[in-house]
Every structure is written in C-alpha cells, then in structure tokens.
Amino acid sequence: MRGRSGRQGDPGSSRFYIALDDELMRLFGSDRIKNAMEWLKIEDDVPIESGMVTRGIENAQKKVEGHHFDIRKNVLKYDDTMNEQRRIIYEERDRILSGENLKPHILDFVEELAQSWIDTHCSTEMHPSKWEFEEMWSEINHFLTLPEGASLETLQQHRKQEPILAQIKEWAEEHYNFKESLIGPEMMRAFEKWCLLQTLDQKWIDHLRNIDQLRDGIGLRGYGQKDPQLEFIREAYDMFSALKHRILEDTVRFMFKLEVKEDAEVKTERKVEETGTNRDDQTETNNSPTRRSGEKIGRNDPCWCGSGKKWKKCHYPEEG
C-alpha cells in the first residue's frame, strides 16, 4: 500500500518495490512491461524509473482498491438487512427478560394463529357453505387444548369470521386460566418466560444458519439477470416472516399442550415403570435355557428323564 512518509505536514515521497510476477502486475499489464525489458535487454537487478511504469502501478492499485471497496459496500448492505432483523429479535428478548407479564403476549399469539386459520379455511372469498371447518378444527386441536364444552358444531353455527375468532379466543383463554389456577400464577409466569426464551433462541440460531447459506449462494442469481442484493433482501424478509410464525406456533403449542400433574401421579407412574422393568427382567430370566448340573451326559446316551429317547432327541435342545 502506498502512504505518506513525511512528518510535520511534509507530504514526503514513496518508492515502490514490486516484481513483475506479483499479483498486481500480473493482473494489470505485466506482459507489456516484461516484453519491453526483454527487448531492451535490461538486467533483472536494474530499477525501473520510468514514469509510465509508475503511473501504471498507481492505476492498478486504484482499481484493486475500488474493487475491494465495492465488495465491502455490498457486505455492509447485506449486514444492514440482518441488523434490522437482529434489532427486532433482541428487543423481543429484552422484553421477555424484563420480567413483565407475558400472558397477554401469548394470548395475542393465539389470536394471530386463529386469524391465520380462519383466513386459510374460512376465507371471505369463499361462500360460508364451502368453509373447511373440519380442517380448521384439526389445526386448532393440534396447537390448542380446548375446554370440555368446545365442539366443532359450535363453530359451524357461525357464518362470519369475527364470531369464529371470538369463540376460539374465549376457549383458549378459559383453558389457559384453568391451567394457571392449577399450578399458580408465579409458576405459570416462569413457564412462559422459559418457553419464549428457549423457542426464540433456538429458532434465531436456525435462522442465522439459513441466512449464511443464502448469502453464500446469492451471487449466482446474477447469472439469471437478477440483482443479488435485491434478491437477498426479498428472501431474507420472507425467511424472517416465516421465523416469526414458527416462534408463534411453537410457543402456543408448548404452553397449551403442557400437562400439569401432581406429585402423587408422578410417583404412581414411576412405580408402574419400575414394575414393568422387573417383569421384563423376570421374563428374560425364564426364557433363558436351563442348565443341569451333575455328571455329563453324551449325546447318544439315554435321556435322564426316563423317556427312553436319546438325550440329543429329548432334552438336549433345551439344555445344550
């Protein structure tokens, strides 16, 4: 790199030491200079003081610096996209760690999920008679645990989206309050915090891996006459939207499918497991071949049981 060598504001001077087979000269016209030196029969140890060569080196260095600047500029543009996503995730994580009540946040998750189910299976573009209530009911039961009074027939009575959304929210809040009454508000808040943090961290790590893979191969879009930078921004946005939806789904499914058991039930299950293990061990012991101690019997000798058969035809398969 060329720089100043003076002090106290003196611009100074600089001298280049470069070989014709260096990468800089190899990429920018070393053949022409090399041919000129061979034609003039200049020795290898003679310094080249020509102004043309000096200007050629300066121009080559400017081109290389400009090329690397463009690379860094594109990297910064890619980083700007990721920085915005990182800011959103970290703000959400700080909000979880701040200790605020996360129950309204999770119920908002339920509302967003329910609205997506309704938009998919009960779209306003379809006639209510063609709404897919069975498919929507299957998705509801996959993510939520509903109270005993909930039924598919109750949803099928509605012909507008708003009553369906209100009914799903009512069922979800009723079951959530019931579960909270079983384990207590403090324990429920701890579960909410732990669940959101685990889900957010794991999904964010997976998202960063996918973004790295996208960035490694996004340059190939240029062969298809597409701007790699615009393609990266578009796909990164789609991937981030999918990330938020996965966080929402996993959090809701975990919190609503979480089963609360008393200590007596857990102890009973442990006893059943231990009993099952002992039974299996006993079965394996009974199925093992029996060994008879005493004098060794030959294969063709009469069997010790008195059946009159040879030992190899009688008890040998069991004892041998």
The pLDDT value given to residue 177: 92
The pLDDT value given to residue 63: 76
Buried-exposed string 229-261: b where 16+ CB fall within 10 A, e elsewhere: bebbeeebeeebeebbeebbbbbbbbbbeeeee
The pLDDT value given to residue 1: 45
Q: 102 and 189 in contact (C-beta within 8 Å)?
A: yes
The pLDDT value given to residue 101: 87
Domains, the chain, in order of start with CATH, read 23-74 (no CATH), 77-263 (1.10.3060.10)
Hey, how many other C-beta atoms are within 10 angstroms of the C-beta on 67? 9
pTM, full prediction: 0.59
Residue by residue, pLDDT tens for the chain (320 residues) are 455 555 666 666 666 666 767 776 666 655 666 677 677 676 666 666 666 666 767 777 777 777 666 666 666 777 788 888 999 999 999 988 887 889 999 999 999 999 999 999 999 888 888 999 999 999 999 999 888 889 999 999 998 999 999 999 999 999 999 989 988 889 999 999 999 999 999 999 999 999 989 888 887 887 888 888 888 888 999 999 999 999 999 999 999 987 766 655 545 555 655 555 444 454 444 455 545 555 667 777 778 777 777 777 787 777 65
Rg of the chain, C-alpha, whole Å: 39
